[in-house]
Each structure stands twice: as C-alpha cells, then as structure tokens.
Amino acid sequence: MRTSAEENYLKAIFSLAEQSGKGASTTAIAAHLRTKASSVTDMVKRLNEKGLVDHRPYYGVSLTDTGTQVATLIVRKHRLWETFLVNHLNYRWDEVHDLAEQLEHIDSDELHDRLDKFMDHPKFDPHGDPIPDREGRMVDMAGAQPLSEVAKDTLVHIVGVKDSSPAFLKLLDGLGLKLGTQLTVNRRFEYDNSVEVSSRFRSGLLLNEQVSLNLTVKAL
C-alpha cells in the first residue's frame, strides 16, 4: 500500500531526474514539492527502505527500477486525467494540473485502463507530453527541441511546453500559440537571445528567451 505523499515524492524524483539526467538533490526535491529539506530526508529514508529509491547520503537520490515503474504509472494516471478534463469536461489546458495532482492518486489500474479506452488511447496529454501505456512505454520524443535551438527559416510546429504553469500557458493563449501551430524563425537577436517568428496568423512575433526555451517544437 502506497500513500499519496510517497507517490508525490516518487513523481518529483522522476521528473527531476528526467530533466537533469542525474540523481535528484534533497533541496531540488524540497523546492519541487514546496516542502522542507528535512522532510525530504525523512521520506527518502522510508522510500529507500521500501526499495523504491537509491540514496547515497549527501549525494543524491535516484529511482530504482521498481521506483521508476511506479512513478511512470502515476505519470500515466496524471496525464490521462488531464486529457479527460480538457477533452470531455471542457477545461482549459492551464486549469487541469492541480486537479490531476489529486486524481493521479486514485488506486485502481482497472479504472485508468477504462478511462484510457474511453478516450480511445490518447498518445499525448493537453501539454504535448506523452502518455505512458499500461506497461510504462511511451512514444519517444525524438526530434523535439526547444524553439530556442531552431535554425533560421526552418518550418516547425509546436509539440509541447516545458513549463506548463498556468501563467506560461495563458501567455501562449494570448499570443495565439497552441499545440500544432506552425512557426518559422525569421530572425534571432544575439543581444538577448530573443527570436522573431511567423505563424500563419501572425508574422513578426517577438519571443523572449524564456518563452523560446520553454516551447518544444519539431521540424516538419
């Protein structure tokens, strides 16, 4: 039996490892979960005893194989619920995260398989993130890169967001940018690493570095 606190920690360690490639630090986990470092140390100790993480004190934490498996299935549930909320209950993509944060802890594989089937096995969630299947497999995002790294005059389309905070998503809505939107980088400015892009509907749209780093695109 796993508790939702444990599950939140596993998911945090999972996503920090995914980003950095390395093990997660105590402070990084604490920041991610808005908790204190001492609480993290305690929980990591428990997760270690349950065989879900490896921990070298004063170095870092990483998921074991079973830990990774568990975390992946929680991510699956999170993304399935987000997809359901947007596609069937008419939520916007900037509204669903916190709700999915609760719903992901519902303890029933059967329910989530049925939800998956009900939605016809979606491959991506509303933020472009791949939805793992029952066995934890998900489509790999090869070819996806941040807009900030795209060469001039290459036609790309938006396939995801690295930051899915409501604030960022609302900004994108305001600019008319969403998943699938086709873009070309017209100019790049060395001064502040801003880029000027054009879409079908807007041309000469200037995006600062913070935005272009967090927009994931793919060549067409």
Q: Does 148 bind DNA (CB under 7 A)?
A: no
**Polymer length in residues for the chain:** 220
**Phi, psi dihedral angles at 198 (to 5 degrees):** -130, 140
Q: Does 64 bind DNA (CB under 7 A)?
A: no
Stretch that binds DNA, among 40-48, 67-75, 110-118, 192-200 (CB under 7 A): 40-48
**Dist. CA 63–CA 51, nearest whole Å:** 9
**Dist. CA 179–CA 171, nearest whole Å:** 14
Q: Does 3 bind DNA (CB under 7 A)?
A: yes
Tokens in use for 113?
């398989």
Q: Does 73 bind DNA (CB under 7 A)?
A: no
Q: Does 102 bind a copy of itself (CB under 8 A)?
A: yes
Residue 41 binding target from Mn ion, a copy of itself, DNA, none, CB below 5 to 8 Å by type: DNA
Interface with DNA (CB under 7 A), residue from 10, 13, 53, 60: 60
Interface with Mn ion (CB under 5 A), residue from 76, 77, 112, 127: 127
Q: Does 89 bind a copy of itself (CB under 8 A)?
A: yes
Q: Does 98 bind DNA (CB under 7 A)?
A: no
Pairing of strands 205-207, 144-146: unpaired
Pairing of strands 144-146, 215-219: antiparallel
Local structure of 53: helix, strand or coil: strand
List contacts with Mn ion (CB under 5 A): 8, 82, 101, 125, 127, 129
